[in-house]
Structure 1
């Protein structure tokens, strides 16, 4: 298949490295320097064990290729600028952002819109190198009806990089949202790896309260979702959350798209969420990151 990937952060690179073994992968980036590096060296993932060749393009030049699927792997904070580009109307577009604030925008698009949840851990080292720090599954669901989704997912699926179909995108994204609102802000605020949510009893108590707030707001079973949070914290115990990495590298975090989304949905005060959002904003300010809008 012909696969396009927009955004060469850790997840975009991981997807390109694995899918590029069996498919014709085209990647779209913003910097000429990165384009040239990827064209010359390909992408090297430690778990794959060899460089994977990709075709590299500048995003501003548009989409010269006809893709079977186009994957958008930029952060939620960079999504609006990507949505300004004209995607081919007959090409399904898979969005891999955290949070759920972008769903309404996708419903308005003329092309088939899919959303995905990536349960892998990845760490970008430079333009061409990425570490696969935790193995999981890529789950995909359709926001707008598309009869081809199962066929394409079947083609993407591989035993060492499983891709699975999910029938309900709201169910899938809501569950991931709860995990993110618990793990991401707390690991960022306390500057710890994911496993400390379990091993630090004080931090675990706070995490449980955050999970209760989220489940109450989103009408989910606390017991089920808390078990999922603990399972993911355990399987990714040595990993740094994406928000923690963004903070350390001086980038705007996705706290508003994750915890802020839940706060806006609530009809009652959420003191833990309110504090975490303000605390992350304060840390961003100290890092020199200014939020506009």
Structure 2
């Protein structure tokens, strides 16, 4: 399969490297110049696993306007706020049969992608895979080989032949995919998890394991889950997990799967980059208000995260 990964950040690199090692022809299209230049100069991507065995994996990287081939699959892995600019810059190589896949954090990118690609060629979903970008072109895969899993779902909720082919490639790459047929239920499940773990771990400068070890963690998680669940149900989301099951997922992922991991929002914060809080907790607040509901806990977290961003940008926050 001819695959282009748009965005060579932590998750884009992990998906691209794993799919390349599984036998696919993979190119990276990187809008961020420092990353493009680093990968070009190195002749590839430095890959570690749990801070060990750092090695160079050959990789092809292009700036958007320099890429002229037509992929079977384009994987969008920029930050949510960069999705529109990235899709616009890459629209010239999205062919009439190209599918676009996104496993980005937060909600919003599908609305951008559908301006360029019909719903029948959009595959969404979620990634429960911990990855750290040490520096441009230098990525650390957290967890043992084959750890983590993904969920893929057609926006139409009707899997076709190509989607099943993508699932098979993800399986060969050790990404443990599950094919779902509930689009909103799938993406909202990760949204709720991120709205708890990403934001609180970032604000408190703690790992996922440190959060769930706190005696009041479950009560705090429940308040956030309840607000998010109510907003989603009002918006027509058919959740695949109950509130209690969602709490159990958060506890399991944080205590058993990635207890030492700091989420991507934290990585953005310490690097001085804007976070995706408006597309995570902010999306819950926006959805709740649309239906006359309150999501005051999420609203407070959005405000606190933006305050932390402001403090960091003004040099007042030590990460």
TM-score by length of 1: 0.90
Aligned twin of 1:130: 139
Counterpart of 2:300? 275
Identify which range, 86-95 or 136-145, moves more after superposition.
Answer: 136-145
User: Which whole-Å CA distance do the structure 1 matches of 2:182 and 2:161 have between them?
Assistant: 15
Q: How does 1:189-228 map to 2 (within 5 A)?
A: 189-219=203-233, 220=239, 221-228=242-249
Q: How many residues align?
A: 288
Secondary structure in 1 matching 2:98: coil
Matches within 5 A, 1:1-12: 1-12=1-12
Q: Deviations over 1:56-100 (max 9, x none)?
A: 111232x32221211111111211111213122310011122122
Matched, 1:263 2:285: yes
Q: Compute the TM-score of the two structures, normalised by the length of structure 2.
A: 0.83
- Give 1:195 deviation, angstroms: 1.2
- Shift in Å, 1:32: 5.3
* Cα drift, residue 17 of structure 1: 1.7
Pair 227,32 (structure 1): closer, same or farther in 2 beyond 3 Å: closer
Counterpart secondary structure, 2:95: coil
Aligned counterpart, 1:173:
187
**Could you tell me which residue of structure 2 aligns to residue 230 of structure 1?**
251
Cα gap change, 1:84 to 1:59, in 2 (>3 Å):
same
C-alpha distance in structure 2 between counterparts of 1:159 and 1:10, whole Å: 16
| Contact kept in structure 2, 1:24 and 1:54, CA below 8 Å | no
Give the alignment partner of residue 104 of structure 2, picking from 88, 97, 107. 97
Which residue matches 2:57? Answer: 52
Once the two structures are TM-superposed, the CA of residue 202 in structure 1 deviates from its matched residue by 3.1
- Distance of 2:230 and 2:37 partners within structure 1: 49
Cα drift, residue 49 of structure 1: 6.7
- Aligned with 1:4: secondary structure? strand
* 2:76/2:101 contact within 8 Å kept: yes
CA RMSD of aligned residues (A): 2.1
Instruction: Output the CA distance in 2 between the equivalents of 1:31 and 1:186.
Output: 28
The alpha-carbon deviation at position 152 of structure 1 amounts to 2.5
Farther-moved stretch of structure 1 (264-273 vs 34-43): 34-43
Q: Which residue of 1 aligns with 2:43?
A: 41
Partner residue, 1:24: 25
Contact 2:132/2:264, CA 8 A, preserved across alignment: no
* Alignment partner of 2:78 out of 71, 74, 79: 74
Q: Does 1:251 align with 2:273?
A: yes
Bigger mean CA offset, 176-185 vs 33-42: 33-42
Could you tell me whether the CA contact under 8 Å between 2:87 and 2:113 is conserved in 1? no
Q: Deviations over 1:260-293 (max 9, x none)?
A: 111111122222111101101111111228xxxx
* Unmatched segments (≥5 aa) in structure 2: 234-238, 315-319
Q: Name the SS of the counterpart of 2:195 in structure 1.
A: helix
SS in 2 for 1:253: coil
Cα contact 2:209–2:259 (8 A) shared by 1: yes
Q: CA contact under 8 A between 1:41 and 1:128: conserved in structure 2?
A: no
* Structure 1 unaligned spans of 5+: none
Tell me, in whole angstroms, the C-alpha distance in 2 between the residues paired with 1:126 and 1:283. Answer: 22
